[in-house]
Every structure is written in C-alpha cells, then in structure tokens.
Amino acid sequence: MARFTLPRDLYHGKGSLEALKTLEGKRAMICVGGGSMKKFGFLDRAAAYLKEAGMEVAFVEGIEPDPSVETVMKGAEAMQQFQPDWIVAMGGGSPIDAAKAMWIKYEYPETTFEDMCKVFGLPKLRRKAKFCAIPSTSGTATEVTAFSIITDYTKGIKYPIADFEITPDVAIVDPDLAETMPKKLVAHTGMDAMTHSVEAYVSTANCDYTDPLAMHSICMIQRDLVNSYNGDMDARASMHNAQCLAGMAFTNALLGIVHSMAHKTGAAFADLGAHIIHGAANAMYLPKVIAYNAKNETAAKRYAEIADRMGLGGCTVEEKVANLIAALRKMSDELNIPHCIRAYGADSYPCEQGFVPEDVFLARLPEIAKNAIADACTGSNPRQPNQEEMEKLLKCCYYDTEVDF
Ligand SMILES: NC(=O)c1ccc[n+]([C@@H]2O[C@H](COP(=O)([O-])OP(=O)(O)OC[C@H]3O[C@@H](n4cnc5c(N)ncnc54)[C@H](O)[C@@H]3O)[C@@H](O)[C@H]2O)c1
Ligand SMILES: [Zn+2]
C-alpha cells in the first residue's frame, strides 16, 4: 500500500495571503525568520488578517537560516505559554521547518529531538493546534511536505524529520511574497526545486500520482528559473507554483542521495565560516548523482524521459542522460552557481579556491560519506552506494571530476 498526502487546502495566486481571514480559531502564533517578512509588510498584513478572523496573535520571531535544535526548543516554550490553536509559519524553508518541529514539541512536551528524528514515527498531532504554512522562497516547498530539516550544530549535521503528521493543514502560495527575493536566493531555491523534481521522478518510490507533478514542474523550472533570476516577475510567480508542485511530488515519492549529500555537507564546514547553501549543494551534486544513478537501467530510462520532455535531443539513452547533465550544468552557469565544492566561495559564488580546503575536505570525507549513507533520503535512491562509492562520489563533487563507476 502506498500513501499520497497533501495539505487539506491550498490557496494560490497573487493576494492569496488574504485566505488567512478564513482560518477559524482563538489564538494564532506566527513564526517568522530574521526580518524580511516584517520589512516588506507581510507580517503586519498576516497579523491583521488573523485578527480580522477574530484571533489573538503572538509571534516567534528571528528564526535563523538552517535552524538549530535550541531554536526549536525555545519556540516550543513560547507556544506552551501562549497555547495557540493555529501555528502560522511564514518565510523561507528555515522558519517553516523550525515551526513544524516546535509544533511537535508543543503537542508532546516530553518529546526529545532524537524522538522527532525517527522516520515516520511521530504520534498524532493536531490535538492542540493546526498548521498553516506560507512560503516566501521558491524552493523547499515545505508548505506541502512531510519534512522538516533541523541542524544539530554540536554534530554539524542536518537531520530530516519525516512524517505525514507534519504535512501542513493549509498552504498559502502567494507569489507576492517571492518578489522581494534577492537574485542569489532565487538561484539557490530554484535549483533546490529542480533537484526535488528530478530526484522524485527517479526515486524508487515514484508512482503514477507523483510522476506528472515531478515532470510538469521540471518543465516549468526549465522555462522560468533563469528568467525569474533575471528579474521577470511573471516567471517568478510561475516558479512559486513550480516549486510547490515539485514538493507535492517529492513529499510522496521521496528523494535521493543528492539530498543525503547536501544534508551532510551543508553544515560540515560551518567552523570554517560558511555553510554550503542547500540549493547550491544540490545544484553541484545533481549532475554527478545522475551520472552515478544512470548505471542503473531503470533510472537511466527515466532520466532519458526527462531529457525528452525538456526537448534536449539525443538518440540513445546515454546521449539523453549526457544532455540532461549538460543542461543542468548550463543552468548553474546562468545562475552563477559553482560546479564543485572546491570552487565554492564563502559567498556561494564560483572562485579559484573555495572556503573548504582540500586537506580539510579529505580528512572529513569518511565521516561525511558515512553520514550521507545513513541519511533518510538514501533509501529511495535508485542505487545504494557503499562507503567506497559514496566517498568517490563526494570526491567528484569536490573536484568536479567525471563519475565513471
Ligand atoms: N522541509 C523540506 O521539505 C525542505 C526541503 C528542502 C530544504 N529544506 C531546508 O530549508 C532551508 C532552506 O530554506 P530556504 O532556501 O527557503 O531559505 P531560508 O529560509 O534559510 O532563508 C534564507 C534567507 O532568505 C531570506 N528571505 C526569505 N524569503 C525572502 C524574501 N521573500 N525576500 C527577501 N529575503 C527573503 C531569509 O530572511 C534568510 O535570510 C534549509 O535548512 C534546508 O535544509 C527543507
Ligand atoms: Zn531540498
């Protein structure tokens, strides 16, 4: 038996933030990040709509990018004080993911972070509150997914919490919120969305319900991402929908080892002063993982189908896979994303020598590879890498060398 789960209601289109007026309850806790939602007036508007709906409103503000376990525990305490019956999370993937984890802790105060990380092991939520998610970036699609990514900074590891219990009740996909994104954020979140669609399409858990969502979003992202990056606001609005469709696909079809590797490298070099931003990591690793997975016949055929739908040409499966890899690399060039960790600058732009020195990378490689294999996203990848293969793959991602194994 397979399961396909999405939010009960999804409001989309310009001005759909107003749908907040339709929520019924007594107290809403709005969770936001570092300030962009406040600065651009969306926080005030959201609060006003909720008050119009007759609710008392309180805030958890300042949730940092790549949120920590500590942030989650602090926010859950604020919820415990205020006792909301709606949690309204607004912003990028970070505040929405943090709010999802706070929600678990609020419903079950005894829960530890380790308990939360047991894949598909959460108890029933919604005894205290429902959850509404409003994305301001066009990538993670956490507004429709069963996932939340929280970073344990003592270990330098990102942990995915995965359970349909944390699929939001209501998603509001209003493109107005995405208009203020700086270019770099458009690039990174857009390639995150592309990776979601491609990984969902070749995942071993793909099905007839997820394939059309994955494939259609791939074509939309191919058409719209670079234009959105270059300031076309119609393309920006379309990308907001495309990333959400990609999310509907991957929350049900799951992902693959591009995400395993991104989760386990993202914060692994944080002590050197920077993160490898999630979307940029995906953009760098996706072409390498396609080459690796394409040694599996079923996966190769599905990559070829993607190349066909993207109109990339090629006669054989091999040619089509090569064309897909080339097209994705070209997109990264157009979005100013480097091709490998060695060329990844602390500011995320391509450079001669990035912020991760070769000796540090090689010293940490065995541990990172081990953690990537153990990541929750590895199970649905079409090929199951062993330690040696994962290390080789990560090396290809560091040096930008060919994958021939
Ligand atoms: N839950 C999931 O299914 C899922 C999927 C993929 C990634 N993730 C996780 O989500 C996180 C990344 O989320 P993200 O890429 O959305 O970025 P983010 O939430 O980390 O935000 C990045 C920065 O952009 C700013 N920002 C957000 N929206 C803006 C806007 N409209 N205008 C101007 N500035 C804005 C924020 O203030 C922040 O400084 C990572 O932790 C990643 O691991 C989760
Ligand atoms: Zn992602």
Q: Is the CB of 137 under 6 A from ligand 1?
A: yes
The pLDDT of residue 291: 98
Provide the percentage of residues in the chain whose pLDDT is more than 90: 96
Among 185, 245, 263, 285, which residue has the most ligand 1 atoms within 8 Å of its CB, making it the best to mutate?
Answer: 185
Report pLDDT digits (tens) over 305-326. Answer: 999 999 999 999 999 999 999 9
Report pLDDT digits (tens) over 133-148. Answer: 999 999 999 999 999 9
> How far, in Å, from the CA of 25 to the mean position of ligand 2?
32
pLDDT over 90 at 156, yes or no:
no
- Domain 9-178 CATH (choose: 3.30.1330.80, 3.40.50.1970, 3.40.50.1480, 2.40.50.140): 3.40.50.1970
Could you write out the three-class secondary structure of the chain?
CCCCCCCCEEEECCCHHHHHHHCCCCEEEEECCCCHHHHCCHHHHHHHHHHHCCCEEEEECCCCCCCEHHHHHHHHHHHHHHCCCEEEEEECHHHHHHHHHHHHHHHCCCCCHHHHCCCCCCCCCCCCCEEEEEECCCCCCCCCCCEEEEEECCCCEEEEEECHHHCCCEEEECHHHHCCCCHHHHHHHHHHHHHHHHHHHHCCCCCCCCHHHHHHHHHHHHHHHHHHHCCCHHHHHHHHHHHHHHHHHHHHHCCCHHHHHHHHHHCCCHHHCCCCCHHHHHHHHHHHHHHHHCCCHHHHHHHHHHHHHCCCCCCCHHHHHHHHHHHHHHHHHHCCCCCCHHHECCCCCECCCCCCCHHHHHHHHHHHHHHHHHCCCHHHCCCCCCHHHHHHHHHHHHHCCCCCC
Query: Which ligand 1 atom lies nearest to the CA of residue 145?
Result: 3
Report pLDDT digits (tens) over 208-242. Answer: 999 999 999 999 999 999 999 999 999 999 999 99
Among 45, 71, 136, which residue has the most ligand 1 atoms within 8 Å of its CB, making it the best to mutate?
Answer: 136
CATH class, domain 183-399, is mainly alpha
The pLDDT of residue 154: 87
Q: Is the CB of 36 under 6 A from ligand 1?
A: yes
Q: For CATH 1.20.1090.10, list the domain ranges present in the chain.
A: 183-399
Q: For CATH 3.40.50.1970, list the domain ranges present in the chain.
A: 9-178
